[in-house]
Amino acid sequence: MKAAGQNVKVWDKEFAPFISAQQIEERIEQLARKIEQQYAETEQPIVILGILNGSFRFASDLVKALNIPLEISFVKLQSYSGTSSTGQVTEMIGLDLDLAGRAVLIVEDIVDSGRTLYHFLPSLKAKNCLSVGLCSLLVKPDAMQYKLPIDFAGFAVPNDFLLGYGLDYDKRGRELNDIYKAID
């Protein structure tokens, strides 16, 4: 993939350009059209459920690109510290909507091992949703440890540490408009 920009340094790591803001914008438009087709016949507005903190930029841009009735909510799940997964999923901020009989589309910034969603999905499905779909801007197929049905995927990426467009390294770098990968 072609990326624009200069290398950036965050804390002790250097990152090289990987996916440009323009590529992200174009892919979001494509995903929005596919999502609209999938949910065109849904009677109630779909619920876009962003997983904080990383998905906030992607969820915002995706919602702006969608032309269907929707509601948006967020949950905060945490499983990372620094560049490594802790192996535990913690719900920091809970869901505030009644999802019974509603079509729900989970929006994630990145799915790598799949552990976070694997542990979150059963509690979500217990809320008697009409359907639960998954949209992720980035997917790391080589890192997947859990089989997850990803209905809408933006980019398949290698198992590198990524930064920018909502992705962080110890709370830094989310504000970057492009996505960068760590230089080994």
Q: What is the pLDDT of residues 10-37, one digit of tens each?
A: 999 999 999 999 999 999 999 999 999 9
**Rg, Å, the chain Cα set:** 16
67-104 tens-digit pLDDT = 999 999 999 987 655 555 556 666 656 788 899 999 99
pLDDT for the residue 45: 96
Spatial separation of the C-alpha atoms in residues 68 and 90, rounded to whole Å: 32
pLDDT for the residue 3: 43
Spatial separation of the C-alpha atoms in residues 135 and 68, rounded to whole Å: 16
Catalytic residue among 112, 160, 170, 178: 112
Q: What's the whole-model pTM score?
A: 0.90
pLDDT for the residue 1: 34
112-122 tens-digit pLDDT = 999 889 988 98
112 is catalytic: yes
pLDDT for the residue 88: 65
Ordered structural domains, the chain, with CATH: 26-75+99-159 (3.40.50.2020)
122-162 tens-digit pLDDT = 888 899 999 999 999 999 999 999 989 999 999 999 999 99
Spatial separation of the C-alpha atoms in residues 89 and 48, rounded to whole Å: 21
Question: Does the N-terminal peptide bond of residue 53 adopt cis geometry, omega within 30 degrees of 0?
Answer: yes
Spatial separation of the C-alpha atoms in residues 42 and 22, rounded to whole Å: 31
Mean pLDDT of the chain: 91
- As a whole-number percent, the residues of the chain with pLDDT over 90 amount to 79
* pLDDT above 90 (res 2): no
Annotate 110-158 with DSSP letters as a single string: EESS-HHHHHHHHHHHTT--SEEEEEEEEE-GGG--S----SEEEEE--
Spatial separation of the C-alpha atoms in residues 103 and 39, rounded to whole Å: 8
